[in-house]
Amino acid sequence: MNDVEESAEALRRLRAQAVFSWAELKERGFDRRTLRAALAAGVLVRARRNRYLRSDAPAPVIAAVRSGGRLDCLALLVLLGVFIKDTPRVHVRVSPNAGRFSPGAVVHWRRMTAHPLGRHAVAIRDAAIHAVLCQKPREAIATIDSLLHLRLLTEDEADAVFRSLPARLRILRRMVDGSAESGPETLMRLILRTLPVNVRTQVTIVGVGRVDFVVDGWLIIECDGRRFHEGWDKQVQDRHRDVEAAAQGYVTLRFTAADVLDDSGGIRVSIARVLDALAPRSRRAG
């Protein structure tokens, strides 16, 4: 199962979750005794007064309902496999006229712009809006890229997300590119935008395969995440690809996802040094 399929399955499971009131449980044949038995057996969880969920609901969903609202923002998107740089706290959407809610969660008050997934979670579009507001611009761009790549948002829906944001953030729309297959790839693309170079993304090279970036026609840059680059067999394959690329006149730089996430300044310096050292030679060879 690829990442798009995994995300679709995670969304299906999230949609299938439900929050029940006592009246709704009675309609399903519960009485007080069977409710107590279901709670004791761990079949149901009482999140708060008159709100019950199945015990297989994800912990952030239960926490959001317990807080008096719907799961929102980063906490919802990370359940769907969307790129979020840091492990988020529970984000919960409450109605503007909400009264009591439990402390500890990040509370959002904005009105929803789309029909929610249910009592337990907001719509993906609304979660995306707050994901931009709750992150630094580079990280927000990576999150929207991820949503597009995973087909959880369409381009039109991404447009709607940015129309709902303050004017100062709408400019970020021009930097979104759903071709990125991971958050680190997006962040690397943003690093490369700061250099005076020509960049192509997701380029297929005969004999090598698809590479993340080709800079100025000769420099290959790869972002190696643990999921797709773990294990000796994959390491061997990558080395064979690099040798073939070198035989065709390319230079390959590989950076780990951790490097891209934590040391963007250092990576920019490293790439700039390679360009300064080898670009003149590349031009002479051409």
The predicted pLDDT at position 98 comes to 61
Sequence spans of domains, the chain:
3-17+57-175, 183-285
The pLDDT score that the predictor gives to residue 231 is 60
pLDDT reported for residue 43: 94
Question: The dihedral of CA 180, 185, 191, 197: what is its sign?
Answer: negative
Quote the CATH superfamily of domain 183-285: VSR Endonuclease (3.40.960.10)
Q: Give the pLDDT confidence score for residue 227 in this predicted structure.
A: 54
Walk along the chain (286 residues) and give the pLDDT tens digit of each residue.
Answer: 888 999 999 999 999 999 999 999 999 999 999 999 999 999 999 999 999 999 999 999 999 999 889 999 999 999 999 999 988 889 999 876 665 555 678 888 888 889 999 999 999 999 999 999 999 999 999 999 999 999 999 999 999 999 999 999 999 999 998 888 899 999 999 999 999 999 999 999 999 999 999 999 999 999 987 554 456 577 778 888 999 999 999 999 999 988 999 889 999 999 999 999 987 665 545 4
Three state DSSP letters for the chain:
CCHHHHHHHHHHHHHHCCEECHHHHHHCCCCHHHHHHHHHCCCEEEEECCEEEECCCCHHHHHHHHCCCEECHHHHHHHCCCCCCCCCCCEEECCCCCCCCCCCCEEECCCCCCCCCECCECCHHHHHHHHHHCCCHHHHHHHHHHHHHCCCCCHHHHHHHHHCCCHHHHHHHHHCCCCCCCHHHHHHHHHHHCCCCCEEEEEEECCCEEEEEEECCCEEEEEECHHHHCCHHHHHHHHHHHHHHHHCCCEEEEEEHHHHHHCHHHHHHHHHHHHHHHHHHHHHHC
Q: What is the pLDDT of residue 100?
A: 57
Model pLDDT, residue 284: 44
CA-based nearest residue to 89, from 102, 77, 76, 105: 105
